[in-house]
Every structure is written in structure tokens, then in C-alpha cells.
Amino acid sequence: MRAFAADIGGSVGKKAKLLGWVGARRDHGKLIFIDLRDRSGLAQCVFNAKEKILFSQAEKLRPEWIIEVIGEISQRPKNLINSDLGSGRWEVMVKKLTVLSEAKTPPIALDTDGYEIGEESRLRYRYLDLRRPRLQQNLKLRHSAIKFIRDYLDERNFVEVETPILSKSTPEGARDYLVPSRLYHGQFFALPQSPQQYKQLLMIAGLEKYYQIARCFRDEDTRGDRQPEFTQLDLEMSFIDREEVMNLIEDLYVKLVSQFFPAKIISRRPFPRLTYSQAIKKYKSDKPDLRKNKNDKNELAFVWIDDFPFFRKDKDGNWTFTHNPFSAPVEEHVGWLSAKKNIGKITADQYDLVLNGQEIGGGSIRAHQPEVLRRTFQIIGLSDKKIDEEFGYMIEALASGAPPHGGIAMGLDRFLAILLNEPNIREVIAFPKTGDGRDLLMEAPNSVSKEQLKELGLEKVNES
């Protein structure tokens, strides 16, 4: 039966079989030491020159070969104990070696944390880059954190619902990724920027408490720490107000930090709250960094920002929404919105959660009355005909008896990167794109054949 590197201490004096990759190799003349790496960690394997055939096999081993060893687990001599290694008190005295797979010399160094290697090289060979213990630990912790979120919400009667990936292109703030239809030439699906409309439809359907670990897609220009596709915790509730949404997320995140990052210190609880105007006036930003010591990686300064302006002028002087058009105005400004007056003063019932100067989530109480949503679209310049064409199904659904509802979307990639003290979100995503949106491993985006384009009713136009 296979043993794992991290567990060999429980088998001292017994034979064990280990399988994994060759890490460091150290030749001391009469002894060869191999660090065997598996998913649990490292184990030192010792080959003695007295075992001539076995020793000659070990001399041929190279980094990243995959091997099977059978040997006896023994205590390391006191002067050779490695206290920095979980299995550093024990070693495997190898009696049998089998090479399962040889490997070419890795094109990038794998015995470092990887920060010193260029992004293009790391992402081109991401399947090698992911062998680093740091990245494997990041992915395992990501898994555990998401499981914790699921369990927390399950205990509170939320229902996880998967919403469609192929949907309709609608104006929601960012540019859509479009998917051409083979069966309906000239028509397109869009990948979701968020499950916004679907989660509202679930509230109209009477589900009351929904969540999803959702994949979202936005075809945005290069903007620093962004990805074309990302993951968010998306949730929605009926018959609630903003306080209930904010309190739920605050409790969830405090418990998550306590569970997985006990060294982290949340600077203030309950999380402080600032209105948008207060944040801009005092900090000149709606994403203020409220840490007392900006160099303290263990300090977590959460802050809620609320009462955002509902509308702003675009570069052409027309009104547009600041977050999304499905929000409701605060109660005292419903009359202004209905009358389409004092537009620049209308406050949306919206809220963002900021951590150490980065936005990690945002949500709102939604417009649950069809006339309120229609008036919002009118203010941003859509005709009634255009509204019915683009959002008629939503207007009709709201008219069928929609409960007051609201929710939030929490960016998991950014949140985990902050908690793990990583410099960017690519360090917590298994197969990220480059900063300019390319997949170097799969070499995408890429050209497709004329036959594929013909099936879709498309033709490539050469740019002049």
C-alpha cells in the first residue's frame, strides 16, 4: 500500500512504498540522497553504495523523474534532522527503485518559489509551475475556503443553483464575450458577466436564498490585476434589507479568516462603514486602505462603502449607471427616479466591501418593481422599444409578483490573493491568462479553420 511523504513518521521500522517526483538529488560518494516529492510534501530517500545495482540506478536519476521506492523507514541521525521539513526527522532506506517515467530537463527552475521567473515562461509551462509547493498549497487552501463557504451557507438554508453560461448579450457595463450560433447564423450567445439577472429570476421564482460559486467573463481591456474569467461567490436573498446582506458576509468572512488564517488580525469589528461621499472626501477614493500599518501583511482592514450615486455622466455627457441598472434607489429617492428629476443626486441602495485598499465585493438591493427598472433604463437613454427588446423578459417577470430582494457578489480570487499575501490573483488561479488576456499554455486565442467559420456563417475580414 502506498505511503505518503508527510506520514512516514508513523511507520518507523516498517517497510513502505512511496511514489512521486524526484526533487533535489545529493551525491555524497557512498550515499545518494533523493528528495521524493508527492502531494503531501517531501521525504528523504537514501541509497547506499553497498547496494551496487540499486546505487547505480540512483546515479541515473534526474529532477522530475517519477519513481517508486520501497524501503524501511528509520530515524535520521540527530545532527541530520531537518526541522524545517514536516518529515525531516525520518528517512527511507531504499531497498527497491522503479522508474515510472523519465522527464526532460525542466525549462524553468522548480526548486524556488517562482517569483523571480518571468510570467510568460511560468504560464507557458504552467503544468510544471504548479508543481511548486507554494502554488499547490494555494490551490488546496482555495478548495478548503470554498468548501467552508458552501458549508456555511448550507447551514443557513441557501440553495446552490448553477445558472447558464450561454446567455444573452445585454448592456451591463463591460464588453461581452460572444459565442456565434451554428444553428442560427448571425445570432450570438454571450458568456455571463455575472449571474445578475438569473439570480433575480430565482428570487421571483420563490427560491428566497440562492448562492453559486460562479464563473464570470468580461472582455475588458488590460487593467492590471484583472482576468478575462474569474470566480465569485454570488448570492441573493428575498425579503431582506442591506443590513442583513452585509451582516451575513461580515460574519462569514470573519469566521473564514479565523478558521484558515489565524495569524491574520482584523483591525476593526464590526467592519467600519463609510458612505461614498465620506470616502471620497476623506480618502479621495471609494476603495480606501484603512490599515494602520501598510507594511503589516497580517493586518486586514475591511470597510463597507455604501450609498453610491446611482447615475453619472459618461464622456459624451449622457447618463449611465455607476454599478448596474438593476439596483434600487434608496427609499427616499424613489420619487426622484420615478419623476426623472435630480438624477445626479439619486443614491443607489448599493454597497461594496473593501479590504486593504482593494474592492473584494459589491451588491445592492434590487429594483423589484417593473416600473422602477423601466425608469432606470429610460434615464440612461433606452427607448421603451429598446427596453422591451433587451429586457422585456425581466420587466415581465417582475410584473408577475416579485419579492423585495438583494444580494452581493464577492470576488474570491482577489480575496484569497490578499489572505495568502500573493502579489496578484494569478497566483491563486490554476490556469490563469496573462495580463493581456492570452492563454500561453493552450496558445489561445487562436485562428480557426475556414470550415469552422463557414459552419457558423462567419467570414474572416482582413484588416487593412
- Residues near 188 by beta carbon (within 8 Å), at least 6 away in sequence: 169, 178, 179, 180, 181
**Could you say which DSSP state residue 430 is in?**
S
Question: CATH 3.30.930.10 residue ranges in the chain?
Answer: 127-428
pTM greater than the 0.85 cutoff: yes
CB atoms within 10 A of CB 42: 22
Q: What is the pLDDT of residues 317-376, one digit of tens each?
A: 999 998 889 999 999 999 999 999 999 999 999 999 999 999 999 999 999 999 999 999
Q: Using CA atoms of 101, 103, 108, 113 in order, give the dihedral in degrees to the nearest 10.
A: 30
Q: What architecture (CATH level 2) is domain 5-101?
A: Beta Barrel (2.40)
Rg, Å, the chain Cα set: 28
> What grid cell was written down for 423?
502579489
Question: Which parts of the chain register pLDDT below 50?
Answer: none
Q: What is the pLDDT of residues 137-148, one digit of tens each?
A: 999 999 999 999
Alpha-carbon gap, residue 325 to 197, rounded angstroms: 11
Q: What integer pLDDT is reported at residue 463 of this predicted model?
A: 60
Amino acid type, 347:
T
- Say whether domain 127-428 belongs to CATH 3.30.930.10: yes
Amino acid type, 263:
A
Q: What integer pLDDT is reported at residue 223 of this predicted model?
A: 67
CB atoms within 10 A of CB 423: 9
Alpha-carbon gap, residue 29 to 145, rounded angstroms: 46
Alpha-carbon gap, residue 14 to 155, rounded angstroms: 44
Q: What integer pLDDT is reported at residue 124 of this predicted model?
A: 97
> What grid cell was written down for 275?
458612505
* Cα 285 to Cα 149, 289, 324, 414, distances in angstroms: 30, 9, 20, 19
Question: CATH 2.40.50.140 residue ranges in the chain?
Answer: 5-101
Could you list the beta-strand ranges (E) of 109-183. Answer: 159-160, 178-180
> What grid cell was written down for 89?
526527522
Write b or e for each residue in 231-254: b if 16 or more Cβ atoms lie within 10 A of its Cβ, otherwise e: bbbbbbbbebebeebbebbbebbb
Alpha-carbon gap, residue 127 to 109, rounded angstroms: 13
